Amino acid sequence: MENTGRKKVITEDDVRYVARLSRLRLDEKDVTMFRGQLSAILEYIEQLNEVDTEGVPPTSHVLSSMKNVFREDEPGVSLSPEEALSNAPEKKDGFFKVPRIIKEA
Amino acid sequence: MSNKYETVIGLEVHVQLATKTKVFCGCSTAFGARPNTQVCPVCLGLPGVLPVLNRKAFKYVIKVALALGCDIQKTVKFDRKNYYYPDLPKNYQISQHDMPLAYDGKVTIVAEDGNTTDIRVTRAHLEEDAGKLLHDPGLPFSYVDLNRTGTPLLEIVSEPDIRTPEEAHRYLVTLKQIIKYLEVSDCNMEEGSLRCDANISLREKGAPGFGSKVEIKNLNSFKAVRDALAFEEERQAGLLDDGEKIVQETRLWDEKKNVTVSMRVKEEAQDYRYFPEPDLVPFEVRADLVEEMRASMPEMPRERALRFSRQYKLGEKDVEVLISEKDIADFFEQVAGCFDKPRVVCNWIKGEIMRHMNERGTDIRGLNLKPGDLAKLIKMVDDEFISGISGKDVLEACIETGKDPAAIVRKKGLEQVSDEGALEGIVEKVIAENERSVTDYKSGKTAALSFLVGQVMKATKGKANPKLAGEMLRRKLG
Amino acid sequence: MEDILSSIDGFKRWLKGRTGSLADAARFLTDRISSIDADVRAFARIDAERIARRASGLEKAGKKGRLYGVPVAIKDNICAKGELTTCASRILEGFRPPYSAAVVEKLSAEGALLIGGANMDEFAFGSSCETSCYGPTRNPWDTSRIPGGSSGGSAAAVASGEVTAALGSDTGGSIRQPAAMCGVVGFKPTYGRVSRYGLIAFASSLDQIGPITRNVADCAAILEVISGYDNRDSTSVNMEVPRYTESLSEETGGLTIGIPGEYFRAGIAEGVRSRIDEAIKVFRDLGARTVDISLPHTKYAVSCYYIIAPAEASSNLARYDGVHYGYRSPGPGGLEELYTASRNAGLGEEAKRRILLGTYSLSSGYYEAYYLKAQKVRTRIADDFREAFKACDCILTPTSPTTAFKIGERVDDPLTMYLSDIFTIPANLAGLPAISVPCGPGENGLPVGLQLMAAPFNEETLIRAASAFERNTEHHKLRPEGL
């Protein structure tokens, strides 16, 4: 049984860190709220440590019959450029347009 | 560089696999199309679409794995590598994290002096390529073209076994040669179908562990790799000599100024949150598939080199030229199969054929020359049916028109004149008109004879058999 | 209002008895929906003109399929070419997919009249339909209450008689729980039975599309149409699809039904408990054998789910960033600003909560303790079922521990909300087929659902058992008052 003894309750810094990874910006009120809620959820989830999983393989695909699914190297149908860009918030000359990627100096 | 330090280099190579379609969808992988014309909901990363693995891409990786002597995973899985970038429409890349398809292989490089070194390959895995970004100079915008998104990409990571920029260069040349032999990629650095990042660090000779490493990007040719590493080697040695520390960072190679430039000083620690890709199922690499791939492997460059020197009795340098590319080696063997003087064939390929390739900027296939035609041509020259000079003209015409060399010879009337009767008058005339050379020859300047033969050739528009012409002149001036 | 949409056959009779074009019938139906929906709000949008045009198209096509003209609501997370599909999220504002989901193609090929935009919890994150950017759908039985979720719009549209059938998606109970709370039939097929191509992903290893209908026969009919292999979905299973409608009339004699003690321990509302007990008796009376079984890891299912599902979701939702489609924040600034501003404004609070949770459990240093651990516990849960199905053909439980709760009652307490999916989550974790059928009114006369689960690809067993139950009870005939 994995028991790291690590304090797992999420801190406000943790919330800020995962918000940054997920490209969400939270104000301090949000940070406090989410920390509280996520702590409650994660504390509940701690019960997973009661389960002995020694030697148990992880399940990524629940049905073991699912394997070896390929497609052949044969051309499919591509979209027309109009369709490809039909949902683009901004486009120019057949490209998706975004603010310039600024390299940190 | 002072010999206080030892250089430690590792290379990370990305090779686009030459499948017709992308790795997870049926869009074309062709280079150079108009932006966003080779895209579908899958490679655009639209909501609700799912990847399905291209069987050929999977097989190609197994081929490379076998050629590099790698161990191959029995069950292959894919993982998501999560990071945000506008050329990655899903904001995760389907890649392989902890269980790469192939691992623990090697690339054997041959130094100038013939000594071999093994560079270990840590891992080789399959992933999807990202799109391309264009930047508008002066304007605050970037433009995204997703045609390249989803092209199958093979990543090959070496151990830090490389010790000099020259070795790095040889590693790349050898790796490219192997991959091209397998015909799984065209390895064209200009079109980005082969890309390379380099890691380099220095340590004091004999020191355990590694120094802080610098990653170099923007390496657009093998020469750039060698030059950038050489620059970086000097730069780091200079800093260490001055008692400074090497900053672990990413640097860009500036090809124009021949320097590396720091990309950013402080990189945020990457947290890719890898986890198994739930939209793809596991893939078993069964023994029969590996055997099928092994059986489909061509003879690889090293084996072929050994066989060539044995079978065709050719020198090492000649062999290296012939096996440098699989197509050239194949072509040589096809010609040599029709005309049994390998050394003569080799000389034609090394000389005239390669000259035409260079002049036309094409590979051997691009010449559209049938091996049988070249064999016929070489035989005509060898049999003295046509002269060597005519032979070159015929080859040129052959490449230009694709016509049969015998037909070209006939049409141009290039058959060598080896009939004494037909040459008699011309030889007489040349003697009569070149008194000075005749005198020279008679006074012992044998070189004058070549000039006179040349005149006979000129008068016959190259058709005279030069050997016969020489004999006749010698006799007459005797 | 006349209950013309109580069944596919009933609708067909009604349609046959009408004169005029299918487009006219479609207009009649959309008018009806608009009128009922003033209270229920099952749809995010109804574009009557597009629907009428689609009806004309079906009529012109000539071929009358098995579902000709039948109005089928489509959850707002299933793509139809050119139709607004937004997952009830502002971040997909204006998104019209240039392609159709496999299920949409299949239903269209059989002539179904698809009515998109069934309301849902944003990105299917929820059990109450309250996290929709369009506001909550109301339960037709009591409009002060939630319809369940996340396919709340689909279930409410069927229960209120706006449509004959609906498609929902089920990641942790999102078809079965709203079906139970709205008193209709909901079916989650075996993972891999129905193609996910075109279903906007929540948690890829758990999601599955399925029907919501007024009766088991219609459920079987829709399931028959939407099931089957699709080479665009690697997790779609290449197995022949049985004729589910042929299992409808089979008897339940000889069937062994497992009753898992772990599902009956605590926390079940009395009104639910007594209905389930009665249902068990009905099955016994029909000649089925019941056996006590144990699914020892049941209590870990919610924890396991709330690691795996948000982790996958955090990655699946990364693509909504304002670059290639969907909502883009108009604010100035660089690319990073565009990402965060678009996501901040485009995603709702529950979506953010799950993204944060999922990102946390995958982040450096936590993967093994959370994600990998949960995957191992998932194996244990699936093993429990494998073991249990050695002793029984299907497993009977309540679908939800309670009947529909009041709108707003649990919004501030995510954990309690999450725990309400305790009975439906295990089937997703184990990939099993499961059905919810009405089994009578509980507290306040609100519907209670009975859940049956079977081994993978044993959908027929569920159809057979549920159909027999339905034939021998009257619960499915109950209608919300005023409709």
Q: Is A25 on the interface with B (CB under 8 A)?
A: no
Tokens of C246: 């042929």
pLDDT tens-digit map of B390-406: 889 899 999 999 899 98
The answer, yes or no, to whether residue A41 has pLDDT greater than 90, is: yes
Domain boundaries, chain A: 1-55
Give residue B84's pLDDT: 95
The answer, yes or no, to whether residue C483 has pLDDT greater than 80, is: no
Domain harbouring B450, CATH code: 1.10.10.410
| Residues of B (176-205) whose Cβ lies below 8 Å from A | none
Q: What is the 3-state secondary structure (H, E, C) of chain C?
A: CCCCCCCHHHHHHHHHCCCCCHHHHHHHHHHHHHHHHHHHCCECCCCHHHHHHHHHHHHHHCCCCCCCCCEEEEECCECCCCCCCCCCCHHHCCCCCCCCCHHHHHHHHCCCEEEEEECCCHHHCCCCCCCCCCCCCCECCECCECCCCCCHHHHHHHHCCCCCEEEEEECCCCCHHHHHHHCCEEEECCCCCECCCCECCCCCCCCEEEEEECCHHHHHHHHHHHECCCCCCCCCCCCCCCCHHHHCCCCCCCCEEEEEHHHHCCCCCHHHHHHHHHHHHHHHHCCCEEEEECCCCHHHHHHHHHHHHHHHHHHHHHHCCCCCCCCCCCCCCCHHHHHHHHHHHHCCHHHHHHHHHHHHHHCCCCCHHHHHHHHHHHHHHHHHHHHHCCCCCEEEEECCCCCCCECCCCCCCHHHHHHCCCCCHHHHHHCCCEEEEEEEECHHHCEEEEEEEECCCCHHHHHHHHHHHHHCCCHHHCCCCCC
Rounded to the nearest angstrom, the gap between the alpha carbon of residue B190 and the centroid of all alpha carbons in its chain is 12
Output A76 or B412, whichever has higher pLDDT. A76
- Does the distance separating the beta carbons of A81 and B27 come in below 8 Å? no
For domain A1-55, the CATH superfamily is Glu-tRNAGln amidotransferase C subunit, N-terminal domain (1.10.20.60)
Residue owning tokens 């096509």 = C61
Give residue B477's pLDDT: 85
Domain limit, last residue, from B412, B438, B465: B412
For all residues of chain B together, what is the average pLDDT?
A: 92
Considering just the CA atoms, what is the radius of gyration of chain A in Å? Answer: 23
ipTM for the complex shown: 0.96
Give residue A4's pLDDT: 46
Of C6, C7, C75, C195, the active-site residue reads: C75
Instruction: State phi, psi for A97 to the nearest 5 degrees.
Output: -110, 130
pLDDT tens-digit map of B352-379: 999 999 999 898 999 999 999 999 999 9
For all residues of chain C together, what is the average pLDDT?
A: 95
* B186 closest CA partner among B317, B23, B20, B361: B20
Domain boundaries, chain C: 1-483
Q: How many Å apart are CA C9 and CA C379, to the nearest integer?
A: 42
Give residue A2's pLDDT: 42
Give residue B413's pLDDT: 78
Strand partners, B217: B252
- Confidence band, pLDDT 50/70/90 cuts, at residue B296: very high
Q: Is B351 on the interface with C (CB under 8 A)?
A: no
The answer, yes or no, to whether residue A99 has pLDDT greater than 70, is: yes
B134 and B206, same domain (yes or no): yes
Give residue C342's pLDDT: 97
Q: How many Å apart are CA C194 and CA C243, to the nearest integer?
A: 15
Give residue A104's pLDDT: 39
Evaluate whether residue B123 is within a structural domain: yes
Indicate the residue of A23, A70, A81 with minimum beta-carbon distance to B55: A70
B11 and B146, same domain (yes or no): yes
pLDDT tens-digit map of C300-354: 999 999 999 999 999 999 999 999 999 999 877 889 999 999 999 999 999 999 9
- Confidence band, pLDDT 50/70/90 cuts, at residue B468: confident
| Residues of B (75-104) whose Cβ lies below 8 Å from A | 75, 77, 84, 86
| Residues of A (35-54) whose Cβ lies below 8 Å from C | 37-38, 40-42, 44-45, 47-51, 53
Indicate the residue of A76, A87, A94 with minimum beta-carbon distance to B27: A76
Residue B458: domain span: 420-477
pLDDT tens-digit map of C222-259: 999 999 999 999 999 999 999 999 989 887 778 999 99
pLDDT tens-digit map of C15-61: 999 999 999 999 999 999 999 999 999 999 999 999 999 999 999 99
B251 and B125, same domain (yes or no): yes
Of C108, C151, C154, C174, the active-site residue reads: C174
Q: How many Å apart are CA C205 and CA C265, to the nearest integer?
A: 29
Mutate to test the interface with C, among B27, B44, B83, B84 (most CBs of C within 10 A): B84
Q: Is A89 on the interface with B (CB under 8 A)?
A: no
Evaluate whether residue B143 is within a structural domain: yes
**Report for A87-101, B108-122, C147-161: range of highest mean pLDDT:** C147-161
The answer, yes or no, to whether residue B423 has pLDDT greater than 70, is: yes
Task: Determine the average pLDDT of the residues in A53-75.
Answer: 93
Contacts of residue B149, defined as CB under 8 A and 6 or more positions apart, other chains included, come to: B22, B39, B43, B44, B45, B87, B88, B89, B128, B129, B130, B131
pLDDT tens-digit map of C65-106: 999 999 999 999 999 999 999 999 999 999 999 999 999 999
Rounded to a whole number of angstroms, the distance from the CA of B86 to the nearest CA of chain A is 8
pLDDT tens-digit map of C408-449: 998 888 888 898 899 999 999 999 999 999 999 998 899 999
Give residue A7's pLDDT: 52
For chain B, the farthest-separated pair of C-alpha atoms sits apart, in whole angstroms, at 94
Q: Is A62 on the interface with B (CB under 8 A)?
A: no
**In chain C, what percentage of residues exceed pLDDT 90?**
90
Indicate the residue of C234, C318, C320 with minimum beta-carbon distance to B52: C234
Residues of A within 8 A of B140 (CB-CB) are 99-100
Residue pair C204/C110 in contact (Cβ under 8 Å)? The answer is no
Evaluate whether residue B294 is within a structural domain: no
Indicate the residue of C204, C231, C367 with minimum beta-carbon distance to B279: C204
Give residue B90's pLDDT: 98
B209 and B318, same domain (yes or no): no
| Residues of C (283-322) whose Cβ lies below 8 Å from A | 297, 299-300, 302-304, 306-307, 314, 318, 321-322
Contacts of residue A80, defined as CB under 8 A and 6 or more positions apart, other chains included, come to: none
pLDDT tens-digit map of A9-19: 899 999 999 99
pLDDT tens-digit map of B327-357: 999 999 999 999 999 999 999 999 999 999 9
Give residue C1's pLDDT: 64
Query: What's the first-to-final CA gap in chain A, in angstroms?
Result: 47
- Does the distance separating the beta carbons of B50 and C99 come in below 8 Å? no
The total of other beta-carbon atoms located within 10 Å of residue A72's CB is 12
- Does the distance separating the beta carbons of C337 and A22 come in below 8 Å? no
Indicate the residue of A67, A73, A97 with minimum beta-carbon distance to B282: A67
For domain C1-483, the CATH superfamily is Amidase signature (AS) domain (3.90.1300.10)
Rounded to a whole number of angstroms, the distance from the CA of C206 to the nearest CA of chain B is 9
Query: What's the first-to-final CA gap in chain B, in angstroms?
Result: 66
Q: Cis peptide before C34, with omega less than 30 degrees from 0?
A: no
Residues of A within 8 A of B282 (CB-CB) are 60-61, 66-68
- Does the distance separating the beta carbons of C95 and B48 come in below 8 Å? no
**In chain B, what percentage of residues exceed pLDDT 90?**
73
B29 and B151, same domain (yes or no): yes
pLDDT tens-digit map of A21-40: 999 999 999 999 999 999 99
Number of structural domains (chain B) is: 3
- Does the distance separating the beta carbons of B50 and C196 come in below 8 Å? yes
| Residues of B (45-64) whose Cβ lies below 8 Å from A | 46, 52-58
Q: Catalytic residue at C436?
A: no
